[in-house]
Amino acid sequence: MRLGHLRLAIGFVPLLLAGLLAPTASAAPPLGGGARIIVNASAHCTLAAIGHDSTGELIGFTASRCGGVGAPVAAEGNGGVVGNVGAANEDVGYAVIKFDPVKVAPIAAFDGFPINGVGSDPGFGQQACTEGGASGVVCGLITVPGSKPGSITANLPAWELGDDGAPVTVNGQLVGLTVTGHVATLVQPGAMPGGQAQIRVALFSAITNDVNAKGGPGAGFAPIPA
């Protein structure tokens, strides 16, 4: 072997080792309606839905009380920031999340909980289902109109630590999100998480009407297709 070739071979060894030892990037976490998220590094909430708006931006929705505009959003268990709150309306009860598409793998059926599009407003006595970060998958009945326009009341469990923002579906169609859950300390002694409770749900029709009227992040939203 010529001296020049020997020097090239020796010089290649550190480069090869560096490539082998370099840390690999963590896979983008799968996110969909029902996924646990952490907003502003402290609020444990649930993602209601994920999809694209009319500009093609990757968008999600959760409860407004989870965090205001600019608040960073992380996928629980992943650690890294994957987006931030781009818009919010506390009166209606929603927040729009702008996701970094490089850091998120959007799916239509997170943890087997399907969201196959946006449905019409549910009626009295109709069965609705939800998946919350604290309560998991449960179903209950729509009861009466909510205390605010654009909302309904449902017999669904929801806890303040984890379930805020959870999707509410009817026959796999997204119809709303949990505005706020209950404070665990107010539960009667012996009561188990997941018990039936009256909660306020923001209708997704009211949410989309508001974001479409404003024309900002989330306008023209369509969930990831199944």
Q: Which residues contact 119 (CB under 8 A, 6 or more apart)?
A: 169, 170, 171, 173, 174, 175, 204
Longest dimension (CA), the chain: 87
Assigned domain for 14 exists: no
Which pLDDT tens digit goes with each residue over 30-75?
999 999 999 999 999 999 999 999 999 999 999 999 999 999 999 9
Per the structure, the complete domain to which residue 87 belongs is given by: 30-110
d(CA 219, CA 215): 5
- Are 148 and 184 part of one and the same domain? yes
Q: Show which of 65, 83, 110 is a domain's final residue.
A: 110
* 74 contacts 38 by C-beta, under 8 angstroms: yes
* 151 contacts 206 by C-beta, under 8 angstroms: yes
Assigned domain for 226 exists: no
Nearest to 58 by CA among 30, 86, 28, 100: 100
- Tally of domains in the chain: 2
Which pLDDT tens digit goes with each residue over 88-108?
999 999 999 999 999 999 999
Q: Show which of 110, 130, 149 is a domain's final residue.
A: 110
Assigned domain for 76 exists: yes
Question: Taking residues 4-29, what's their average pLDDT?
Answer: 49
Could you tell me the pLDDT band of residue 155, with boundaries at 50, 70 and 90?
confident
String of DSSP letters for 41-77? TTEEEE--EEEE-TT--EEEEEEGGG--TT-EEEETT
Assigned domain for 95 exists: yes
